[in-house]
């Protein structure tokens, strides 16, 4: 069975540590590859710009970084990130404390999901104004690669060889190391500038599903894909949990929002056996989502129905 380690301190505590390891949080207990959650929030993070009264401005326990996963293979001395968020510098620092490496930035590849602000804009830190990296592989679908190569300031990263563009194809796996692969797959979501994809990360005996954004599970049904068929095949499923329920955004008809509500997902998944429901970790939570707050009625309802909310520094051994 998979093992999940959850940070028992607030992420802000981990960020305030100036030196040394992060008290073992997120560290692997063995040599097997592992995945660690570096953020769980929607694109704008928590608190979000313009939310003047959010408790996160004064209390780090209410702050959350934008959704991002890291994959670490200590034996191969390699690290990868899924998405490059506006919080990249904090997330890279956390990863360096969890798994120190000598090379800079020590990222063997970045796998992008799509061209919405929370998922690629951290690439700016790789440019000559900041890190000035050399040839960091950035894996993405064709439209996403075209967007990066033909639009500034991202095209400058390509022209200066700060990054190298690596094409992905729907359903075609990429080998990360001899026993570890990542497979992209298309999902229906707003595609103004690029395709939108999820990922399946697999090792011979374990696997993790990651879908940060999707319009609705019904839309995926229409494309012949059924999420209920995938969840039983993996050990952990990180799924779009952007909004908890209707009425969360006052004065807005949330039926038009291009994300499945957590309440709707729970209703749809209720027929899954308990051993499959426990695999679901809702991620990519908007700053308005009450499920962000431990002990809230929303969080209790999720857990009482057999599901979970992803936690920063949660680790899954692969």
Q: What is the pTM of this model?
A: 0.89
Q: What is the pLDDT, as a whole number, of residue 19?
A: 29
Q: What is the pLDDT of residue 28?
A: 47
Residue 124 has a CB neighbour count (10 Å cut-off) of 19
- Domain interval for residue 30: 4-317
Torsion, Cα 196 42 6 266, to 10 degrees, reads: -70
pLDDT at 30: 58
Number of domains in the chain: 1
Closest residue by Cα to residue 35 from 157, 184, 176, 224? 176
Contact 69, 37 (CB under 8 A): yes
Please name the residue that has the structure tokens 């329920």. 245
Give 130's DSSP letter.
T
Share of the chain above pLDDT 90, in %: 66
**Cα angle at 307 between 302 and 313, to 5 degrees?**
100
pLDDT on residue 29: 52
Nearest to 115 by CA among 49, 213, 199: 213
Domain CATH code at residue 101: 3.60.15.10
| pLDDT tens sequence across 208-221 | 999 998 978 888 87
Distance of CA 210 to the CA centre of its chain: 7
Select from 268, 212, 266, 308 the least CA-distant residue to 2: 308
The one-character DSSP state at 64 is: B
**CA-closest candidate to residue 228, choices 267, 184, 272:** 272
Query: Residues in the chain with pLDDT < 70?
Result: 1-30
- Give me the DSSP letters along 5-63: E--SS-HHHHHH--SS--TTTT--SSSS-EEEEEE-B-TT-BSPTT-TT-GGGT-GGG-
Q: What is the DSSP letter of 125?
A: G
Q: What is the DSSP string of 233-300?
A: GSSEEEEE-S--STTSSTT--GGGSSS--HHHHHHHHTTS-HHHHTTEEEESB-TT-GGGSTTSHHHH
First to last CA, the chain: 10
């Amino acid at each position: 069975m998979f093992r999940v380690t959850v940070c028992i301190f607030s992420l802000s505590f981990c960020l305030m540590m100036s030196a040394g390891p992060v008290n073992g949080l997120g560290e692997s207990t063995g040599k097997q590859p592992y995945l660690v959650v570096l953020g769980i929030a929607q694109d704008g993070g928590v608190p979000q710009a313009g939310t003047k009264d959010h408790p996160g401005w004064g209390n780090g326990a209410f702050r959350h970084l934008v959704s991002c996963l890291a994959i670490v293979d200590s034996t191969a001395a390699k690290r990868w990130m899924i998405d490059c968020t506006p919080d990249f510098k904090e997330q890279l620092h956390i990863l360096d404390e969890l798994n120190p490496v000598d090379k800079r930035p020590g990222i063997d590849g970045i796998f992008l999901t799509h061209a919405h602000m929370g998922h690629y804009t951290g690439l700016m830190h790789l440019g000559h104004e900041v890190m000035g990296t050399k040839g960091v592989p950035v894996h993405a679908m064709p439209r996403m690669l075209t967007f990066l190569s033909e639009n500034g300031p991202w095209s400058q990263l390509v022209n200066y060889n700060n990054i190298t563009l690596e094409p992905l194809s729907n359903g075609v796996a990429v080998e990360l190391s001899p026993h570890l692969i990542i497979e992209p797959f298309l999902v229906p979501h707003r595609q103004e500038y690029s395709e939108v994809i999820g990922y399946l990360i697999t090792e011979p005996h374990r696997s993790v599903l990651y879908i940060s954004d999707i319009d609705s599970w019904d839309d995926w049904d229409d494309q012949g894909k059924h999420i209920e068929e995938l969840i039983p095949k993996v050990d952990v499923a990180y799924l779009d949990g952007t909004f908890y329920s209707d009425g969360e955004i006052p004065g807005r008809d949330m039926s038009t929002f291009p994300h499945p509500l957590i309440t709707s997902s729970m209703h749809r998944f209720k027929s899954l056996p308990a051993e499959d429901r426990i695999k679901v970790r809702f991620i990519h939570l908007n700053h308005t989502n009450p499920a962000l707050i431990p002990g809230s009625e929303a969080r209790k309802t999720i857990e009482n129905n057999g599901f979970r909310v992803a936690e920063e520094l949660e680790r899954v051994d692969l």
